[in-house]
Structure 1
């Protein structure tokens, strides 16, 4: 498929530039460089080069990866000589990619390879006239293979798709306005009936004053106008909804791409890897006609490449071992994609020996992730640790097997996309990794719930059912409150965890007698978990937007959405919630039995005034603080805060204020507080997105107890600061 190969090479041209730019930015300040991130970039570049048969680039990236691994192991950091060496390798990679893109002869990379310590002679340069390396006939115009066209087209689709999601949100808001108008019309009808009844009881029309008649006529006119307005709004809303549906269908044609377009070449890549390793590999691809957002597929391509390489590396066995196990001579690798419940599910499987649980467990103990004294562990507990940094089941390091970074990078990539990765053993043998990601990164159907005074959204793809259970229906199983429920005709026992406790690592308490609570049953495969919440609010399709400054439980959120006009909610990652439960099950079990340490003294409830013009930020901070037992009051700017401080009957113990706000900013609010004799001793924490040294000094000079920048902010820092002050 020459068109597909040209598209893949164009995608590689974009991808390799991004990796090189990132590494070079890091090398500009070697002392501050995140070496793990540089390593990840080189590892990804190696996999991308392998996918498009750029062997020299792959070889160079592998050597750079090895050199950087030595630097990381030594712990001495990057010296000038190593930085120069890495630049030499990057330049050689860039020259190779440029020649491939332009159809020119590939340059000799032996100097860079030798400098990087290659033990074998580098591959001979391949001329552009060769049929494998040639992208297009030399006579083709540059526009035929222009990567810019592919990229602009993809970005255009994404922008249109985002605009559509925002428009959908506005239409939903308009629908609420229609409901409001119809309610006003009904109220006007009721007023008119009441007026007529009152007039009749007052002695009839003959005794009605002219002013009363005028009032009646005005009321009738208002009723007619409201009725006409309601009808017009209803018709307009219906028409816009119909047009929106057509527009969504047409934009999906642009924004969604078949998986074949970005993953279709990977079967050949796996066969080539097998040949390089002296293995015969049979590859089967299924379901690649499924369509998803292009950016989702692009984000998944790199993790899938890594997992396919792992399937060959970890699945390889001697012919004798395969024969003894009753397997065919060839290693079987499967790449399967399908859409289910608004999600894209990709499975990478092999029929090798399967996950080495003992090796993974030993690696996790060596990394300090497990205690050697914990006793026997469930297989899924151990397999979940394979995605932790530094945990690897590879017996050796080569061009295929990594150093415990690969699966960690896969997990991080999926989490950033709002997805998840799971490793499991296949029956009767083999291993399988299941990747789950949204078909659309923006539009999702959410179950809106309230827990701990805050609103959260749970994506509907993971919600099995909504129900209400009484405490009498719960039982303690392995130290955890659990419920026996029926799913698909079978009884299963499912843990019951308050959502607020899971999000904030709070200790579980035995349920109070006679209490009942609404529950959300979430699932991942056969794993189920009941989340107890305060209220189930709504089920709605909403636009999920990125939230850069997420302040609770990093990794547990997919973003934020707005319910109706002004009710923000955090969108939770249900896969991450289940992972969090699996990681903390032992500790939570102990707490439910009263084995976990508890506070012995009743803590005085302190009140915090949160001042911020962003409703999302206010709500998030309120959720964080209330989860820790603080009482929280809210203000939208400095003026509102001063009014609250001077008029509230509640004793306020602390103010947490943003700096950049309308009417009165945080600095002015701080000055006003310190100038007021009744408020001067009130502690104030300033928060801002600007990490400016002059601003920090100004805030502290004005009397702020602390100054927190949002770029470096996490909830632990805020809570620790408040705890220190109070």
Structure 2
């Protein structure tokens, strides 16, 4: 078996050259210098050097990173002395890498070459072109199939003419007519034989070419598709090493590295995922005492999972640290001028809006800058890389605590199957892997919920009451009627988790593969699109982002979403388990006790460590909560403040809340009930029968 370090060094040999070449090319270019790109390259080079334990190269890369970071803050271009220093540093890195990370060879004899490992960097564009060429061959063969079908129709027509001639020929016997008839008969038979021969030859050629094209296509896909482990497998080890060096106790869980995706996709995700894992370590680290008080294990938990679902690659990076600091993110966004300062009477921004700001350049909740941090660039780099792949990134609080970033990208970027849609005279497309079903509903099947059209749809064995939303309304932000044509409504059923959304269009015309390019389009909200594609008939089409369409509906109709519209239903046997209780308490003992009592009775339980954590969970829209059981005395946001926030939010106001406290002060009881609590339980006389009876009465 090849030594793992040899394999890593061979990979570093390819990777470090790629970063050095990119930085040098950027410095030599006459175009405007992209400081963020060369900063990202230096940052990634530093991480790669750390992964293979080359501290001298890591230190030089860190120096470059510092120089590029300062220049980003200062603006402008490098002066000549600085530029010369940068080039000398690049040369020094190259020399160190050639000597295995040492300034001079460590032995008099030539160093042993790496044996048994040969890595070749294949340009992603060339690989994409190979795949595209294979698809073009397949398209050409489809044209040949049509030509073969035409030949067969001609053969059938020839047989008909031969039969007709057989009926007419007896009438041409005798004299010159007989001679002409023999000539015509001979020519007809020759033509028939040649037509059969051409047809047989064409059929053999099409079959042979089809087999060859299939082998080329399969080979191209084998080259392009590779297990995630081959590209991303070193990342968990890098984070463990970083944790050891920074004194952070960490447990890293990895799942799904055997999942296969296009190598180009995985390579494009490597640097963003490195940033995410570093962020999880940097932002998630907490003092042991604080973790113990919150009921967490002493070691920071970081989970890294990869899965293929419905033609897409889903990557999750989760930590059980303190979770996103919404106040710091908002303050950083204000400081960067991304949003205006909030006035004293202005309502707070929604959690989703604030969390989305974390993906903007320069927005960071990090208190300090060190070798772990990306200086506010980490999540913006992630967002840019994912959008370039035609994917999406989402930051959310993790349950019961911590943060989670979910990346969703196509498994391959070479070609994607697109559902073509007609909307208000324009042509759009959706990736087919984003649509669970394409349906033609009778207009009489539509019902209304609070004035909004819905339809009951069977989806993956579950029944769901899905909102039916005109696509033009999502694109234009202008209310529109559901388009009905000849008594029917055409919808594409989109899905994310348990959430469903039926997007109504005028017509669905075709499903065909095409290459999707990331482009900016005038007059189209860039947040709603992946890019554009050119169809086989040279027609351009805008390719929409289904996750963004779902986000827009959730944001515009949060109250309906929180009420459960669009969530898959469960059968009667699961009805009780579907009732979800959010337990909010800063005491791990109390949380554990209440969780065990409620789960024993068949309830689903979600935990929150304080009021702010609970409010984030409620506003995320990822689960429908039926009841909140909250302690009063908690850090950051106590039970009274949580109750006020719930009742002040139109989307949550009807949610029942039970307050629990160790104090039985009548003033507290009265205050809680006046604020809208459905019940008030004191812990001194806590009885699980009372808790269950109260919950049963409220629900």
TM norm structure 2: 0.66
1:703 corresponds to which residue? Answer: none
CA distance in 1, matches of 2:105, 2:394: 42
Q: Name stretches of at least 5 consecutive residues in structure 1 with no aligned partner.
A: 107-126, 131-135, 590-726
How far did 1:89 drift? 4.4
1:53 corresponds to which residue? Answer: 53
C-alpha change, 1:584 and 1:8, in structure 2 (3 Å) is same
1:17 corresponds to which residue? Answer: 20
C-alpha change, 1:69 and 1:222, in structure 2 (3 Å) is same
Pairing partner for 2:393 from 418, 421, 428: 421
2:142 corresponds to which residue? Answer: 175
How far did 1:283 drift? 1.7
CA distance in 2, matches of 1:476, 1:362: 41
Q: Name stretches of at least 5 consecutive residues in structure 2 with no aligned partner.
A: 559-699
CA distance in 2, matches of 1:62, 1:583: 40
- The answer on whether the counterparts of 2:141 and 2:206 sit within 8 Å (CA) in structure 1 is yes
Q: For 1:328-343, what aligned pairs fall within 5 Å after superposition?
A: 328-343=297-312
- The answer on whether the counterparts of 1:285 and 1:334 sit within 8 Å (CA) in structure 2 is yes
Residues 1:437 and 2:409 are matched in the alignment: yes
Q: For 1:180-195, what aligned pairs fall within 5 Å after superposition?
A: 180-183=147-150, 185-186=152-153, 189=156
Post-superposition CA distance 1:321-348 (Å, at most 9, x none): 2112222111121222233333333222
3-state SS in 2 of match to 1:335: strand
CA distance in 2, matches of 1:365, 1:468: 46
Pairing partner for 2:129 from 147, 159, 162: 162
Pairing partner for 1:233 from 185, 199, 202: 202
Pairing partner for 2:482 from 491, 495, 511: 511
3-state SS in 1 of match to 2:458: strand
- The answer on whether the counterparts of 1:181 and 1:229 sit within 8 Å (CA) in structure 2 is no
2:296 corresponds to which residue? Answer: 327
C-alpha change, 1:173 and 1:249, in structure 2 (3 Å) is closer
CA distance in 1, matches of 2:126, 2:199: 33
- The answer on whether the counterparts of 1:529 and 1:578 sit within 8 Å (CA) in structure 2 is no
- The answer on whether the counterparts of 1:335 and 1:346 sit within 8 Å (CA) in structure 2 is yes
C-alpha change, 1:454 and 1:512, in structure 2 (3 Å) is closer
Q: Which moved more, 1:408-417 or 1:493-502?
A: 493-502
1:599 corresponds to which residue? Answer: none
CA distance in 1, matches of 2:478, 2:144: 43
Post-superposition CA distance 1:488-534 (Å, at most 9, x none): 3444454545556656x463422356753422223344444433334
Who wins on radius of gyration, i.e. which is larger?
2
CA distance in 2, matches of 1:551, 1:222: 58
C-alpha change, 1:401 and 1:99, in structure 2 (3 Å) is closer
Post-superposition CA distance 1:569-626 (Å, at most 9, x none): 5472x5x34225635876799xxxxxxxxxxxxxxxxxxxxxxxxxxxxxxxxxxxxx
Q: For 1:495-574, what aligned pairs fall within 5 Å after superposition?
A: 495-499=467-471, 505=476, 507-511=478-482, 516-540=488-512, 542=513, 544=515, 546=517, 553=524, 554=526, 556-557=529-530, 560-563=533-536, 566-570=537-541, 572=543
CA distance in 2, matches of 1:478, 1:57: 63
RMSD across aligned C-alpha pairs, in angstroms?
4.3
How far did 1:279 drift? 0.8
3-state SS in 2 of match to 1:432: strand
- The answer on whether the counterparts of 1:286 and 1:337 sit within 8 Å (CA) in structure 2 is yes
How far did 1:307 drift? 0.6
2:6 corresponds to which residue? Answer: 3
- The answer on whether the counterparts of 2:356 and 2:394 sit within 8 Å (CA) in structure 1 is yes
3-state SS in 2 of match to 1:400: coil
3-state SS in 2 of match to 1:389: coil
Pairing partner for 1:317 from 282, 286, 291: 286
C-alpha change, 1:496 and 1:326, in structure 2 (3 Å) is same
CA distance in 1, matches of 2:137, 2:523: 28
1:669 corresponds to which residue? Answer: none
Residues 1:266 and 2:235 are matched in the alignment: yes
- The answer on whether the counterparts of 1:449 and 1:455 sit within 8 Å (CA) in structure 2 is yes
How far did 1:467 drift? 0.6
C-alpha change, 1:72 and 1:234, in structure 2 (3 Å) is same
Q: For 1:254-653, what aligned pairs fall within 5 Å after superposition?
A: 254-364=223-333, 367-369=337-339, 372=342, 375=347, 379-451=351-423, 456-474=428-446, 482-499=454-471, 505=476, 507-511=478-482, 516-540=488-512, 542=513, 544=515, 546=517, 553=524, 554=526, 556-557=529-530, 560-563=533-536, 566-570=537-541, 572=543, 576-579=545-548, 582=551
1:206 corresponds to which residue? Answer: 171
CA distance in 1, matches of 2:87, 2:450: 54
How far did 1:465 drift? 0.8
How far did 1:253 drift? 4.1
- The answer on whether the counterparts of 1:457 and 1:569 sit within 8 Å (CA) in structure 2 is no
- The answer on whether the counterparts of 2:312 and 2:410 sit within 8 Å (CA) in structure 1 is yes
Post-superposition CA distance 1:694-714 (Å, at most 9, x none): xxxxxxxxxxxxxxxxxxxxx
CA distance in 1, matches of 2:24, 2:78: 20
- The answer on whether the counterparts of 2:396 and 2:403 sit within 8 Å (CA) in structure 1 is yes
C-alpha change, 1:158 and 1:42, in structure 2 (3 Å) is closer
C-alpha change, 1:532 and 1:237, in structure 2 (3 Å) is farther
- The answer on whether the counterparts of 1:481 and 1:510 sit within 8 Å (CA) in structure 2 is no
1:667 corresponds to which residue? Answer: none
3-state SS in 1 of match to 2:240: helix
3-state SS in 1 of match to 2:374: coil
TM norm structure 1: 0.64
Post-superposition CA distance 1:148-204 (Å, at most 9, x none): x6344x34x97466334423332233224323542564377468759978998xx99
C-alpha change, 1:188 and 1:100, in structure 2 (3 Å) is closer
3-state SS in 2 of match to 1:387: coil
How far did 1:17 drift? 0.9
CA distance in 2, matches of 1:53, 1:61: 13
CA distance in 1, matches of 2:243, 2:36: 28
Residues 1:96 and 2:98 are matched in the alignment: no
CA distance in 2, matches of 1:478, 1:74: 54
